[in-house]
Amino acid sequence: MNLINIKHPQEKVSFREAVTRGLGSDQGLYFFEHLTALPDPLTVLRMDRESRNVAVLGHLLGDELDTETLTTLVRSALDFPVACPRVSPQMRALELFHGPSLAFKDFGARFMARCLAHFRAEDSSDQPMTILTATSGDTGAAVAHAYHGQPGIRAVVLYPRGKITPLQEKLFCTLGGNITTLAVDSDFDCCQSLVKQAFDDVEIREGLGLNSANSINIARLVAQVTYYFDAAAQVLAEDGEAALERQVLCVPSGNFGNLTAGLLALAIGLPCKRMIAATNANDTVPRYLASGRWDPNPTQATITNAMDVSQPNNFPRVLELGERHGLDLAALLSACSVSDDDTAAAMRALHQDGYLADPHSALAWKALGESLDEDEQGIFLCTAHPAKFLEVIRDVLELDVPLPPALAEVADKEVLSDVIPGEFAAFRQKLLDL
Ligand SMILES: *Cc1c(COP(=O)(O)O)cnc(C)c1O
């Protein structure tokens, strides 16, 4: 199976190369050269979840990974539930936060980790591999959990000391084993700069086999296609075939990876009517779709901070789905921006209806409600567990969210991080001592 570098389409790579390299030359994103529709989507939707995930991934990846391998990867990576409860007569919530870090990033991070481990094992490689990443809170948890216990791979996660919540810290700094967490006495920008300096240091890069876990890796994207089929499978089982064509999917978007995965699902034949990309005040894409002008503003801080992105790095893939793969984006995709006030009001309204949503999920519910016609049905994607955003929920709903078992379990565990100053020399020594 071939992937191309969007910036240099003559540059073709296998899935394996794309996963290991992350980015092509000139920082170009890898994407599919060809996409074909599933011959029989309804049959796929009637399968059990594991078989369906294997069928969808097998269709996307062609013969590069055989069914047995894919089954092993899927069974290990996607080993937590997906739920899609109805929250009102017209709407369902697609809950993607039942994984170990309580956010949908578990899907992509876990599948990517297992792909890397699989390719390494296939090579019988004994070269070291070190995943290095900086986090301002949430991605670090998904990455740390994804690589925990993966043979031959070490993960090093940097975060600004004292600038993430104590609960966030407990969630990924208590794992130990092959996971090293470093609390940097500085801010997030400094953490990112330290990571960059390490990648620029040839001795460190090659000696430790540095690899990034970043969100643009193609392995992450393909894993996220699966849950769109999970949602449709549930609609089919509960409401019948005719209901599928009435579904409108609304995706709370930051870097637009999640939305790209949804459009990929449409491109290979997921039955669905249309999709909505919902953003917060960082509304580059809604403005682009309205005016045709790409005109990013400075990034604004909002209560949906995982979506505070003004230059979404996956958007070239969205455009590629239109230009190369012929997806009718004008008909299938709309976008809208939701203010913090409207997001807070949405959290209150949903809570009154008996559904507790984190701010990102509530924002999607709001955008969906505004757009839905009488003869349509909607599914909004819930990207994080409400317990991940305790502070916002306390402010808006004056309510304390009970801790889910995953968090309650780690709340009393010891934080294993080492503290380092925000200087490269100290960080470099720490890496060499690993
Ligand atoms: C990362 C994230 C998003 C945005 O997803 P993208 O794929 O970057 O658009 C939305 N909600 C939460 C909770 C996130 O962590």
Q: Is the pLDDT of residue 239 over 80?
A: yes
Nearest CA to ligand 1 atom 15: 306
**CB of 420 closer than 6 angstroms to any ligand 1 atom:** no
Which residues have CB under 8 Å from 232's CB, separation 6+? 45, 244, 247, 270, 271, 272
> Crossing angle for the helix pair 218-239 and 105-122, nearest 10 degrees?
130
Number of domains in the chain: 2
Looking at residue 429, its pLDDT comes to 96
Question: Once rounded to an integer, what is the mean pLDDT over residues 242-265?
Answer: 97
Q: What is the CATH number of the domain that holds 123?
A: 3.40.50.1100
Bigger pLDDT: 122 or 252?
252
In a domain, 302, yes or no: yes
Report how far ligand 1's centroid is from the alpha carbon of 356 (Å): 18
Looking at residue 405, its pLDDT comes to 84
Query: How many percent of the chain have pLDDT more than 90?
Result: 84
Best of 107, 284, 360 for a ligand 1 pocket test (most atoms within 8 Å of beta carbon):
360
Looking at residue 124, its pLDDT comes to 82
Which residues have CB under 8 Å from 292's CB, separation 6+? none
In a domain, 295, yes or no: yes
Q: Is the pLDDT of residue 240 over 80?
A: yes
Q: Which atom of ligand 1 is nearest to the CA of 254?
A: 9
Number of helices (H), then strands (E), belonging to the chain: the values are: 20, 14
Report how far ligand 1's centroid is from the alpha carbon of 39 (Å): 31
Report how far ligand 1's centroid is from the alpha carbon of 372 (Å): 22
Report how far ligand 1's centroid is from the alpha carbon of 232 (Å): 21
Give the span between the Cα atoms of 349 and 328, in whole angstroms: 34
Which residues have CB under 8 Å from 172's CB, separation 6+? 101, 140, 141, 143, 144, 145, 157, 179, 181
Looking at residue 248, its pLDDT comes to 98
Which residues have CB under 8 Å from 380's CB, separation 6+? 91, 92, 93, 94, 249, 250, 252, 361, 364, 365, 367, 368
- Does residue 156 share a domain with residue 113? yes
Report how far ligand 1's centroid is from the alpha carbon of 68 (Å): 31
Distances (CA, A) of 19 to 37, 109, 314: 23, 12, 16
Which pLDDT band holds residue 207 (cuts at 50, 70, 90)? very high
Which pLDDT band holds residue 255 (cuts at 50, 70, 90)? very high
Report how far ligand 1's centroid is from the alpha carbon of 252 (Å): 7
Question: Once rounded to an integer, what is the mean pLDDT over residues 119-138?
Answer: 87
In a domain, 159, yes or no: yes
Looking at residue 25, its pLDDT comes to 92
- Does residue 192 share a domain with residue 310? no
Q: Which atom of ligand 1 is nearest to the CA of 252?
A: 10
Expressed as residue numbers, the domain containing 114 is: 106-217+411-433
Q: Which H or E run contains 249?
A: strand 247-252
**CB of 168 closer than 6 angstroms to any ligand 1 atom:** no
- Does residue 243 share a domain with residue 204? no
- Does residue 303 share a domain with residue 386? yes
In a domain, 57, yes or no: no
pLDDT digits (tens, 9 = 90+) for 150-200: 999 999 999 999 988 888 899 999 999 999 999 999 988 899 899 999 999
| Among 132, 141, 146, 145, CA closest to 164 | 141
Sign of CA dihedral 320, 323, 326, 329: positive
Report how far ligand 1's centroid is from the alpha carbon of 285 (Å): 15
- Does residue 199 share a domain with residue 236? no
pLDDT digits (tens, 9 = 90+) for 29-52: 999 999 999 999 999 999 999 999
Q: Is the pLDDT of residue 386 over 80?
A: yes
Q: Is the pLDDT of residue 137 over 80?
A: no
Q: Is the pLDDT of residue 11 over 80?
A: yes
- Does residue 114 share a domain with residue 90? no
Looking at residue 404, its pLDDT comes to 86
- Does residue 94 share a domain with residue 112? no
- Does residue 246 share a domain with residue 226? yes
**CB of 417 closer than 6 angstroms to any ligand 1 atom:** no
Nearest CA to ligand 1 atom 1: 306
- Does residue 251 share a domain with residue 370? yes
Looking at residue 293, its pLDDT comes to 97
Report how far ligand 1's centroid is from the alpha carbon of 301 (Å): 14
Q: Which atom of ligand 1 is nearest to the CA of 255?
A: 8
Q: Which H or E run contains 184?
A: strand 179-185
In a domain, 10, yes or no: no
Question: Once rounded to an integer, what is the mean pLDDT over residues 3-23?
Answer: 95
- Residue 432 tokens read as 């060499």
**CB of 58 closer than 6 angstroms to any ligand 1 atom:** no
Nearest CA to ligand 1 atom 11: 383
Q: Is the pLDDT of residue 90 over 90?
A: yes
Looking at residue 128, its pLDDT comes to 86
- Does residue 397 share a domain with residue 299? yes
Q: Is the pLDDT of residue 273 over 80?
A: yes
Nearest CA to ligand 1 atom 14: 306
Report how far ligand 1's centroid is from the alpha carbon of 25 (Å): 26
Nearest CA to ligand 1 atom 2: 306
Which pLDDT band holds residue 283 (cuts at 50, 70, 90)? very high
In a domain, 35, yes or no: no
Which pLDDT band holds residue 302 (cuts at 50, 70, 90)? very high
Q: Is the pLDDT of residue 242 over 90?
A: yes
Which residues partner with 229 through β-bridges? none
- Does residue 340 share a domain with residue 371? yes
In a domain, 21, yes or no: no
Report how far ligand 1's centroid is from the alpha carbon of 221 (Å): 12
Looking at residue 136, its pLDDT comes to 80
Question: Once rounded to an integer, what is the mean pLDDT over residues 325-330?
Answer: 97
Looking at residue 385, its pLDDT comes to 94
Looking at residue 140, its pLDDT comes to 87
In a domain, 283, yes or no: yes
Question: Once rounded to an integer, what is the mean pLDDT over residues 337-343?
Answer: 98
Looking at residue 212, its pLDDT comes to 84
**CB of 306 closer than 6 angstroms to any ligand 1 atom:** yes
- Does residue 207 share a domain with residue 301? no
- Mean pLDDT taken over the chain: 94
Which pLDDT band holds residue 17 (cuts at 50, 70, 90)? very high
